[in-house]
Amino acid sequence: MPRRFALVTGGAGLIGSHLVDLLVAEGWKVRVLDNLEPQTHSRGEPGWLNPGAEFVLGDVRDPAALGPALDTVDTVFHLAAYGGYMPEIGKFIDVNSLGTARLLEVIRDRALPVRKLIVASSQAVYIEGSVSCPVHGTSNPPPRAETALAAGRFAVPCPVCGRAAESVPTPESAPIGGETVYALTKLDQERLTLNWSRQVGIPAVALRFACTYGPRQSLFNPYTGVIAVFCSRLVNGLPPILYEDGEQTRDLCYVGDVARACLLAAESHRLDGLAVNIGTGYPTSVRRLAEVLLDLLDSRTGMEIPGAYRPGEMRALTPDIAVAVAAGYEPTVTLEEGLVRYVAWLSEQGPIEERFGESLERLRRLRLVHSVAS
């Protein structure tokens, strides 16, 4: 088979850089397009850019940069995005929605020989994780009511009877919503790409990543990456601050497994045309995560639970990964092992500034974070 040639947009970031390493190791020719977004790369060009890949400094919103970046590539991994709980609205739409639109237009309008496109979507596209009630079975609840959150009632009730319900894995067929600006733009990216794929006949896959972590996750961005944020506080002797009551759950997936899922989506035809969950399939509560990190970093700070919450956030989301598994995907790194690797990397990063406290105040001021009524 001829050597494959990939463009990885956002290839300097967490998932992109691990994917680049994997592709280079697998013998692919690789080009990166990344604008080194200052929020993520405060110290400029990171030291992990793979010398076996071509690096192009440029913006996915810029057709003049996209044309040369796409030249002769056969596979596009579109990972560049503005991500997290940042307060901007316009920038999310601009980078994520418009950036994707531009990329798709350039490939179509110039009839470029791209044969496959993989776009990074997110678990954030769901409305709330699926739940099961002993009486009414499995259902997909609406967003939690602001009045309930303000009263400190965080659990998701059965939407039929209102009694306590148990979180169960969420399949791709669950309703999608977009309850935050970020989520809306991930939905845009997913739908724009899959619609375009059907029109132009170029196979595409949208991968709905779980919370991804690992070495190289930005230590500068206080708005995203719960593990990096907790660690940046712990190494400064400060307690991690937990939203809600800390019992909300997430699927935390090691970046190496996510990178392998991207490669699988490129090499297999089995996921073509689909939006597919990628994660470990196991939930971890935020409180449990904080406990493991306190232990790993040998910290005595404890944790802080100030009664803050973020409207639009899901309570409990564990993706059902059966579709990806049937296509050959297999998560291999346990949370404990992944966190050990992350903490080892962290210890080599020199002094880390704590920025979360300040960002939390900003988010409160801008009403992205609310407080439980006292």
Ligand X SMILES: NC(=O)c1ccc[n+]([C@@H]2O[C@H](COP(=O)([O-])OP(=O)(O)OC[C@H]3O[C@@H](n4cnc5c(N)ncnc54)[C@H](O)[C@@H]3O)[C@@H](O)[C@H]2O)c1
Instruction: Give the C-alpha separation, 176 to 347, whole Å.
Output: 39
Between CA 158 and CA 136 the distance in angstroms is 8
Sign of the Cα pseudo-torsion (106, 109, 115, 120, in order): positive
Closest by CA position to 7, among listed 349, 266, 209: 266
Q: Applying CB under 6 A, does 232 fall inside the site for ligand X?
A: no
Residue 316 site contact among Zn ion, ligand X, none (CB < 5 to 8 Å, cut-off depends on kind): none
Q: What region, left, alpha or beta, does residue 56 occupy, with left being phi > 0 and alpha being psi -120 to 50 degrees?
A: beta
Residue 193 in the binding site for ligand X (CB under 6 A): no
Contacts of 359 (CB under 8 A, 6+ apart): 222, 223
Q: What is the DSSP letter of 222?
A: T
x/- site string to Zn ion, residues 84 to 123, per CB under 5 A? ----------------------------------------
User: Residue 270 interacts with Zn ion (CB under 5 A)?
Assistant: no
Q: Report the site for ligand X in 14-43 (rule: CB under 6 A).
A: 14-16, 33-37, 40-41
Q: Which is nearer to ligand X, 83 or 141 (CB)?
A: 83
Cβ-based neighbours of 298, under 8 Å, separated by 6 or more: none
Q: Are 116 and 204 in contact (CB under 8 A)?
A: yes
Site string for ligand X, 107-136 (x = CB under 6 A): -------------x-x--------------
Which does residue 254 touch among ligand X, Zn ion, none (CB within 5 to 8 A, set by kind)? none
DSSP string, 237-276: T-PPB-STTS--EE-EEEHHHHHHHHHHHHH-STTTT-EE
Which residues are 312's β-sheet partners? none
Token pair for 263: 């490669």
Binders of Zn ion among residues 169 to 228 (CB under 5 A) are none
Region binding Zn ion by CB under 5 A among candidate stretches 29-37, 50-58, 61-69, 126-134: 126-134
Residue 60 binds which of Zn ion, ligand X, none (CB < 5-8 A, kind-dependent): ligand X
Residues 119 and 319: their CA atoms lie apart, in Å, by 18
- Closest to ligand X by CB, 209 vs 243, is 209
Nearest to 100 by CA among 125, 85, 124, 81: 81
Residue from 6, 12, 234, 289 touching ligand X (CB under 6 A): that is 12
Nearer to ligand X, 83 or 169 (CB): 83
Site membership for Zn ion, residue 136 (CB under 5 A)? yes
**Which one among 15, 76, 118, 133 touches Zn ion, defined by CB under 5 A?**
133
Judged by CB under 5 A, the stretch of 92-100, 151-159, 175-183, 285-293 that binds Zn ion is 151-159
- Window 206 to 225, contacts with ligand X (CB under 6 A): 209, 211-212, 218
Residue 79 in the binding site for ligand X (CB under 6 A): yes
Contacts to ligand X by CB under 6 A:
9-10, 12-16, 33-37, 40-41, 59-61, 79-83, 95, 99, 120, 122, 209, 211-212, 218
